Structure formats: C-alpha cells, structure tokens
Amino acid sequence: MTTGENSFFGIGAGTNIKFYLTTPQICPYLGDRLERKIFTTLNDLNANALNEALTHAGFRRSQNIAYRPSCDMCSKCVSVRVIANDFVFDKKWRRIIEKNKMLVATECLPIATEERYELLTKYLDTRHLNQGMSGMNGDDFIAMLEECVESTRVYDYRLAADCEMGKKGQLIACCLIDELSDGRSLVYSFFDPDYKKQSLGSFIILDQIIQTRIARKPYVYLGYLIDGCDKMEYKARFKPLEALGLQGWGKI
C-alpha cells in the first residue's frame, strides 16, 4: 500500500497513533471514481483495544492494518452493523438455516492450514477470478489469518455426517472474525462454490448473529455498505441495521 501524508490522532488518554493516507487509485467498487484510504498499523501492545476503538470509528482490519476510506468528493462507503437482538429470523432466513442444518460450526485459532488455503483458492478462482485477492499465494494467506489481533478467531463450518462418525467433516466454509466487547466484526468469509444452493454467505452471517446473541452482545459489524455497488447490496438485507454517520451510529 502506497503511503502519502501522515498525521497524529489521539484515541484514549495519552495515546498517539500515526496515520497514513494512500495516494489516489481506481476504486475497486465504483470504477468511475478514485479511492484513498487512511490507515494505521496494529503492532503495539494495545493492538486489541486499538482495533476495537477503530472498528467503532468505522475502520476495518486487514492483517495488522486498520483502514477507512478517505476519498475526495465521495462518501459512498458507510460502516454498518446488525442489531443482533432485534434481528428477526423470518421465513426466508429460517429456510437458509434449515438448508444448512448438516453443518457443524467450530471456533478455532486463526491458523493458516493447507485445508483452509485450498478452500479459499477454490472460492477465489470461482467467485473472484482476476480481482484483487485472486493472486493470493500461501504467504499472503498466512498473513491474512495469522497477522491479526488477540481477539481474532476462525469459524470452520464442516459437514456433520463425517463429524458424527468420528472423522473431521469436509470443510465447506470459513469466517474470520474479531471478537469485540460489544459483538463481533466479520473480517472475511469464504466458502465452497460447489454448495452455492446453500446460500453459505448469508448463512455465515445468520450464524454469527446467533453466536452474538448467545454471547449477549448487541452488534455484528459487517463492514461497508456501498451505495451503487451491487456486490455489497446483500448487507442491506440484514435489518435492523445501524450506520455510522456524522452524528455517530444510528438506525437506517
């Protein structure tokens, strides 16, 4: 990531954090616009707390970097979070959960195993060919999972039939999350494209809403809802949502 200007901001008493601003480049979501990001590293001893504070301020985490759009003349990217306790599992959502009742979810440490890498490669080659992450190699994958914060976890979703027979079931989906004091941030998810009829992307979010409610926490952070970007529209379906605006978080 190319760095440009830098400045200092305080988050918490006596804490100074160095931020950088990227140079303009083509926006990967709205191709007729240029994007810039403001970012900082999460390498110090307070990385977990810093990541949480920045998530509340609309930042996202990628490896040990926290970033947020800072684009000239554009504010299309809006941070959103699901209000977990108010979420209604209506008929369409219950149908997706029912279709995936054969899956077993397990919370794991963020370790870059060969099995997870093979699943990600299959996902990218089918769903995101020739896009930003499609050239990810093994070292990139290790960084993606293991350059993280203390609260980072991976949820593995496996076929239950094999698990019940004492074997490790086939891995068909993964979700990388950061646990927060008020919920969890969904960093990235990927799944087996051979199971496209299972609506695995939606199921992962539904399951994380359930896990958040079980933990008695209020929010599931979904990242950016981008007006005019079709591939981000799915986030708007998980209502009720709150969005981060100039006056703070509020319902949309």
Helix axes 91-99 and 200-214, enclosed angle (nearest 10) = 100
If pLDDT is split at 50, 70 and 90, which confidence band does 133 have? low
What pLDDT sits at residue 168?
80
How long a stretch of residues is the chain?
Answer: 252
pLDDT digits (tens, 9 = 90+) for 53-70: 999 999 999 999 999 999
Task: Inform me whether the pLDDT recorded for 4 exceeds 70.
Answer: no
Between 174 and 162, where is the model more confident?
Answer: 174
Between 21 and 73, where is the model more confident?
Answer: 21
Percentage of the chain beyond pLDDT 70 is 89
Q: Which domains does the chain have, with CATH numbers?
A: 6-76 (no CATH), 81-251 (3.40.630.30)
pTM for the whole thing?
A: 0.89
What pLDDT sits at residue 248?
95
List helix spans (H) across the chain: 47-56, 91-99, 114-127, 138-146, 160-164, 200-214
If pLDDT is split at 50, 70 and 90, which confidence band does 165 have? low
Distance CA 12, CA 26 (A): 34
Q: Which of 225, 216, 220, 197 is nearest to 207 (CA)?
A: 220
pLDDT digits (tens, 9 = 90+) for 189-206: 999 999 989 999 999 999
> Strand 37-41's sheet: what is its strand order?
6-10, 16-21, 37-41, 65-69, 60-62
What pLDDT sits at residue 163?
63
Task: Inform me whether the pLDDT recorded for 90 exceeds 50.
Answer: yes
CA distances from 146 to 13, 18, 152 (A): 29, 23, 9
Task: Inform me whether the pLDDT recorded for 8 exceeds 50.
Answer: no
